[in-house]
Structure 1
Amino acid sequence: MDILTVTVLTHAVIYTGKEKIDEGYIRFDDKILAVGPMADYRPQPGEQIKNLRGLLVIPGFIDVHAHGGYGFDAMDGDADQIDQMATAMMEHEGVTTLFATTMTQSVANIDQAMRGVAAAADRNPIIKGVHLEGPFIAQDFKGAQPEQYIHVPDANLVKQWNELSGGRVKLITYAPEKPGAREFEDALIEMGITPSAGHSNATRADMLESKATHVTHLYNAQREFKHREPGVTGHAMLEPQIYAELIADGFHIVPDMLKLAFRVKGAKRIDLVTDSMRSKGMPEGESELGGQKVYVKDKQARLADGTLAGSVLMYKDAFKNAVNFMGASVADAVQMSAVNQSEEFNLASKGTLEVGKDADINIMDQELDLQATYSYGAFHATKD
């Protein structure tokens, strides 16, 4: 990486992920060099100073569940396109760390995706992992995943895909009620991969036997939360150690149910995700997901039968919606958009604005509209 001029952002309201500094400064090149109150700031020769009075500074966003956007999809397996996709997510949305996400498809297609992600990640450091969503899921809750490619849990396939990805598989969505799931979970944990219950018909009893520590898109594509059977959703609500993803677009989950999840789980166990597909950032109309036609209208992506097919949600809007829909504070939203993900997936250089961490920084105005992003200290004005 090129040597960067040292930048100092001054007079900002800074949410470090650990504390709020009402009038603070942050000094960085590609790494954070200092952060603190303005009373402690001492100018240094050669540094570039930007006065951000009236603006907020927060950590860059970490999206652990995004399939695509801007006309591209991880399943295409094209390294150039996956590279462009990750960069677009950073420039338009403030995503500075991405888990490229696959879906239920043929083994050969997932092989190709893993090779493409590995090559893209070698050139684009924003791509820090892979989320395998399927193919080890339940037919009853397949959502927009093509049924013909659903597979029984197979640790050997996971090992194959992890090797093809360069050891980047961090998260797997699977159905914990499927035969062999306990042994499958043991194999995942041994490989350092987080097991996530999703696209699942599991009961509360199934989940109590499971080693899943994460739930994929809470409420969506899983056994419903009912008064006689808590299912996957109820289990995630009841078990304080489980991390739960939320697609905070107001369509996948209505605002009241987002608020309920936030009140029950609390900020420290929710991961905001987009679950976005290739139509994000593109004009509305016909698109594609896993070989299936998708129709995008009114900020919703659906199959012909009306099934939601991922989202076109931008992460910057998920952050804002967490405050407006869920009643979260800005500090809570920072927790759910960066801190939790860094802790859950051992992303040691990410997630908070502390000395020695990567200079992944978002700048927002008082209305929580994204203004600019620094990725590894390089400035990017937010693109519309």
Structure 2
Amino acid sequence: MTALTSLQGHILTPTGFVHGSLHLGTDGRIAGITGEPVSEAQVREGSAPIVLPGFIDLHVHGGAGHDIMEGGDAAWHVARLHAQHGTTSLLATTMTAPQADLDAAFAALAPLCTAPAPNAARVLGVHLEGPYISEARLGAQPPFARPASFDEIHRLHALAPIRLITLAPEVGGNEALIAQLVAEGFKVQLGHTTGSYEQGVAALRCGATGFTHLFNAMSALHHREPGMVGAALAHAEFAEVIPDLLHVHPGAIHAALRAIPRLYCVTDSTSAAGMPDGDYKLGRHTVTKCMGGVRLADGTLAGSVLSMDQALRNLVNTLGLSLADASSRVSTFAADHMGLQDRGRLQPGAWADAVVLDRDLQVQAVWVEGNEVLLK
């Protein structure tokens, strides 16, 4: 990896774009940004490189033919694949599984969560997506759902840091645990749930702060039964959405954008990401990549093959968001949800996590904590 001294171009800062230079200190953080303000129109019409905060993906199951649940060095291959597409930090996301499978996956993740790996996105910790979910809303999760267990959570957390937990609040005892989980520093979000609007609101009052892949694998909005989607649209500050244009219709994403102030994007990517069509593993499931998606044998969507740079392009080119707004939704808002003030923004003191794009929003260079990722 190459040490960064400065980057030049149109740089997106928290107060808008400037045309100038981003300077790095000796510690992998941003020492300063100099330049003159420019409009987004000038940025998109010009030929200078576009420098955005590195993408942050809080929901990553796999990539490059590797699945987080397989253990070994799978997480490094996954983090390397996503770094090629501008993701500078991520949460390795597990599947609903027996205890032994989770123990093995967590043990393998521990080294990557404590030290950065070369040419790879920074693994900030684990998103425990299940097993504390509804058996009736498994989606593509294997059938090992069970009520939340503090003993299991603490044991897993001792192996590798859990940063985010998805649970279904209506599953026996789960709602009562939310406040204690939050008090212990875990972020809790609601997903894979048959829960009602009322149960969703109650869970938010207990301290849950987000919703897992909004609209997917949760009780839908109906005007007399608003469901978990209704609770999110009416009350959420944060929620994740998969903008691959397969999981959620653009119109539904527009509705969520109007309702949820800090709606942010995730890939929910699987081992099939970055790979040709064919069969791949997702936890204990075999999934098939074809026609730009990933599905179980019965046709159920099973994660995605989305990358965060494509998510950005979808937000801008299909949904019509400004580049600055789209950048917030693939970076800053995810950092905000996790309480990370030194990631997801280009400003002095923040980590030098940056992605350099051309005017077509194609990745030209990626920097993780001040080190350049060697692109293929």
Match of 1:172 in 2: 165
| C-alpha distance 37-232 of structure 1, shift in aligned 2 (>3 A) | same
Structure 2 spans left out of the alignment, 5+ residues: 38-45
Structure 1 residues 53, 379: closer, same or farther in 2, change over 3 A? farther
Q: In the alignment, which of 116, 139, 144 is matched to residue 143 of structure 1?
A: 139
Tell me by how many angstroms 1:240 deviates.
4.2
1:61 CA displacement: 0.6
Tell me what 1:76 maps to.
70
RMSD: 1.8
- In structure 2, which of residues 78, 88, 93 is the aligned counterpart of residue 96 of structure 1? 88
Amino acid at match of 1:35: I
Note closer, same or farther for the CA distance 1:374–1:5 as it changes in structure 2 (3 Å cut).
Answer: closer
Contact 1:256–1:325 at 8 Å: present in 2 too? Answer: no
Matched, 1:14 2:5: no
Corresponding residue for residue 31 of structure 2: 33
1:113 aligned residue: 105
SS in 1 for 2:231: helix
Deviation at residue 160 of structure 1 after TM alignment: 1.1
1:191 paired residue among 184, 200, 204: 184
**Which one has more relative contact order, counting CA pairs under 8 Å at least 6 apart?**
2
Displacement of 1:6 = 5.1
* Residue of 206, 224, 228 corresponding to 2:224: 228
Deviation digits for residues 144-168 of structure 1, max 9, x if unmatched? Answer: 1111x11112122111111111xx1
Residue 246 of structure 1 corresponds to 241
Distance 1:145 1:240, change over 3 A: closer
- C-alpha displacement of 1:292: 1.6
Identity within the alignment, %: 35
Contact 1:259 1:327 in 2 (8 A): no
Structure 1 gaps of 5+ residues are 40-51
Q: What amino acid does structure 2 have at the position aligned with 1:223?
A: S
Q: Would the aligned equivalents of 1:371 and 1:381 in 2 still touch at CA under 8 Å?
A: no
Does the CA contact (< 8 Å) of 1:155 and 1:187 recur in 2?
A: no
Partners of 1:6 and 1:361 lie apart in 2 by: 11
Equivalent residue letter for 2:233? M
Tell me which residue corresponds to 2:255.
Answer: 260
Matched, 1:287 2:280: yes
**Matching residue of 2:233:** 237
- 1:85 deviates by 1.7
The alpha carbon displacement at 1:121 in A equals 2.1
Shift of 1:381: 5.2
**Paired residue type of 2:265:** L
Does the aligned pair in 2 maintain the 1:99–1:129 contact within 8 Å? yes
* Counterpart mapping for 1:316-331 below 5 A: 316-331=309-324
Shift of 1:5: 4.9
Structure-2 change in CA distance of 1:260 and 1:382 (3 Å): farther
For residues 18-72 of structure 1, the C-alpha deviation after alignment (integer angstroms, 9 at most, x for no partner) is 1223422111152111103159xxxxxxxxxxxx952211000110000110011
1:161 aligns with 2:156: yes
TM-score by length of 2: 0.91
Distance 2:246 2:109 in 1: 29
Q: How many residues align?
A: 359
Would you say the 8 A contact 2:335–2:341 is kept in 1?
Answer: yes
Per the alignment, do residues 201 and 5 of structure 1 end up closer, same or farther by CA in structure 2, a change over 3 Å counting? Answer: closer
Q: Which whole-Å CA distance do the structure 1 matches of 2:176 and 2:71 have between them?
A: 29
> Once structures 1 and 2 are overlaid, which stretch shifts more, 132-141 or 257-266?
257-266
Distance 2:368 2:301 in 1: 32
Tell me the CA shift for residue 265 of structure 1. 1.8
Instruction: Flag as ranges the 4+ runs of structure 1 deviating above 3 A.
Output: none
| 1:197 CA drift (Å) | 0.5
| C-alpha distance 293-24 of structure 1, shift in aligned 2 (>3 A) | same
Match of 1:133 among 129, 132, 146: 129
Q: Could you say what secondary structure the match of 1:171 adopts?
A: strand
Does residue 299 in structure 1 map to residue 292 in structure 2?
yes
| SS at 1:88 equivalent | helix
**What do the CA deviations read for 1:103-152 (whole angstroms, capped 9, x no partner)?**
100011001111111122234260111100000111111001111x1111
- Specify the code of the residue in structure 2 equivalent to 1:373: V
